[in-house]
Structure 1
Amino acid sequence: MPKSFDSNLQLPPPLGRNAALFLDFDGTLVGLAPTPEAIEIPPALVSLLSDLSDQLGGALAVVSGRQIDAIDRFLAPLRLPAAGEHGVQRRDAKGRMQEQHAPDLKPILEVANELARVHEGLLVERKHAAVALHYRLAPQLEAVCLDAMSRAVDGRPHLELLHGKFVFEVKPSGVNKGLAIEAFMTEPPFAGRTPFFAGDDTTDESGFAVVQPAGGIAIKVGSGPSLALHRLESPRAVYEWLVQARDMLVTPAPDRTDAPAAPDEQKPEESPRNPG
């Protein structure tokens, strides 16, 4: 279970050149919006991520609940290693795509669509292997959505229900962001590096549970209970932390071998002794 919110959690340390950086998308790199398509991409975010990817030797990946093609569209022309739909899809650093077979989601989709037809403010998002029911525009319907989606997955052990920020999502069982990060960490250029993972939602806790025992840094974005030992208060704070990381990495550390040689130490001239 995530621990209670601790306002004294530390700010994350700077990224080193040996870091492997994993970033959630919504609520971490970009602010949350009323609908998935209404997000605003900070003007310099794409170039910032591109610079960091180069500085980390390509060891930067987006790990999101979104589909990978949606991530690519928002970050175009950048195409980073990515995990989509909480790990159902994964594209490695060489661009090779792995994707789990989509389960039969017709019964789930029918339930979600019927809810959205009856209740104003609900939005149904059909993904490759998942169905998400967003209720950000109708938060008073949380209990109604939970009841209906719980009953929809009842008796279907191959499916599981995730509860994120103003969304209920039905996806295949046995996949999560933590497993996706573990898979990346077995492959170049991520293998052997120190993992950093920043995320804002309950769906990111599986990633925190993988990163911290491996000696890495888990970063909770925003308030709320979390396993993470480090925290940034908002996507804006994440952006500023990434800018700081880029600026530090682009400046080479001082090389003692290149420093000018210190002048030879000379003994101070002895003052003539006063005659006794």
Structure 2
Amino acid sequence: MQLPPRLTPDAALFLDFDGTLVAIADTPEAVEVPTALVPLLHDLHGLLGGALAVVSGRQIDVLDRFLAPLRLPAAGEHGVQRRSAEGHIDEQRAPDLTLILESANELARVHEGLLVERKHAAVALHYRMAPQLEAVCRDAMARAINGQPQFELLHGKFVFEVKPAGVNKGTAITAFMREEPFAGRVPVFAGDDTTDETGFAIVQPLGGVAIKVGSGPSQALHRLDSPRAVYEWLVQARDLLAEPRKNAS
């Protein structure tokens, strides 16, 4: 793998949140957003003509809270929710998660260190504070969806998540690329987790750039070491994109 190339004015930039824009914390609510990140994203959004979107496993309203006052185009819950550049939100109807939520909560009651996160259309079981329970968590969540093809089980970094089948970050990026201001641009997607691989699989065949953040195998052809490296790359991109405008003035 190699470092990503310079971001060009015709790019459509897609960014994962946890592990890419911000460092992963012990719990989802404990992440810290660097002070300079929000104004940086604001500047890049303008310099790219609005073609910047956050593509995350988080819910869109949670992303908005962390990135306030920005309300960027966004895909939440791995594509279950999507907000266009015009602000229109498409959201898949929430399935019945009762039994899955009960299974996850029961496991968390028995084992210390597990955290259950209920989303709009998904249930995530985090085991970052109890990594020895990976197999237990996997087996319990797999049993909970056994015989229910409308669900699929995602394995991310210290988390197993049950979500609707058939939607992912790749389908979300594809939808964005059909709309203005993303259409006709070169897609660039940065993400750190196995759940980002569906996005990498979309952008590279389109002649775009896939950037794996951190360690681990990936089909992405480019890599940055950490969220800090992503931030520095974005700062450089902003400064280079802004240069022609400064010269013109």
Pairwise same-fold verdict (TM > 0.5): yes
Counterpart of 2:171 in structure 1 is 179
Q: Distance in 1 between matches of 2:6 and 2:136?
A: 43
1:110-129 correspondence runs (5 A): 110-129=102-121
| CA distance, structure 2, for counterparts of residue 19 and residue 72 of structure 1 | 23
The residue type equivalent to 1:39 in the other structure is: V
1:179 is displaced (CA, Å) by 0.3
Q: Distance in 2 between matches of 1:21 and 1:44?
A: 18
Percent of pairs with identical residues:
78
The one of 15, 19, 29 aligned to 1:37? 29
Match in the other structure for 2:234 = 242
* 1:221 pairs with one of 208, 213, 218: 213
Q: In the alignment, which of 187, 204, 207 is matched to residue 212 of structure 1? A: 204
In 2, Cα distance between equivalents of 1:161 and 1:102? 16
Matches for 1:1-276 after TM superposition, within 5 Å = 9-252=1-244
The 2-side partners of 1:172 and 1:249 are apart by 38
Give how far 1:155 is off: 0.3
Residue number in structure 2 paired with 1:5: none
Could you list the per-position Cα deviations for residues 185-204 of structure 1 after superposition, in whole angstroms to 9, with x for gaps in the alignment?
A: 00000000000000000000
Amino acid at match of 1:102: A
RMSD value, Cα: 1.1
1:100 CA displacement: 0.2
Structure number with larger C-alpha Rg: 1
Q: Gapped runs of 5+ residues in structure 2?
A: none
Q: Distance in 1 between matches of 2:145 and 2:194?
A: 19
Distance in 1, Cα, partners of 2:137 & 2:180:
41
Query: Which amino acid letter does the alignment assign opposite residue 53 of structure 2?
Result: A
Which consecutive aligned stretches of 4+ in structure 1 deviate over 6 angstroms post-superposition?
A: none
In structure 1, how many angstroms separate the alpha carbons of the residues matched to 2:244 and 2:91? 39
With normalisation by structure 2, the TM-score equals: 0.98
CA–CA distance in structure 1, aligned partners of residues 12 and 203 of structure 2: 10
The letter for the 1-side match of 2:143 is R
Inter-partner Cα distance in structure 1 for 2:214 and 2:19: 8
C-alpha distance in 2, partners of 1:146/1:252?
A: 51
State the SS of the aligned residue for 1:248.
helix
Please state how far the C-alpha of 1:165 moved relative to its aligned partner. Answer: 0.1
Shift of 1:253: 7.8
Aligned partner of residue 14 in structure 1, secondary structure: coil
Deviations 1:45-102 (A, max 9, x none): 0000000000000000000000000000000000000000000000000000000001
CA deviations on 1:139-190 (whole Å, 9 max, x unpaired) are 0100100111111111000000000000000000000000000000000000
**In 2, Cα distance between equivalents of 1:147 and 1:79:** 37
Q: Which amino acid aligns with 1:169?
A: E
Partner letter of residue 103 of structure 2? V
Aligned length: 248
TM-score normalized by the length of structure 1: 0.89
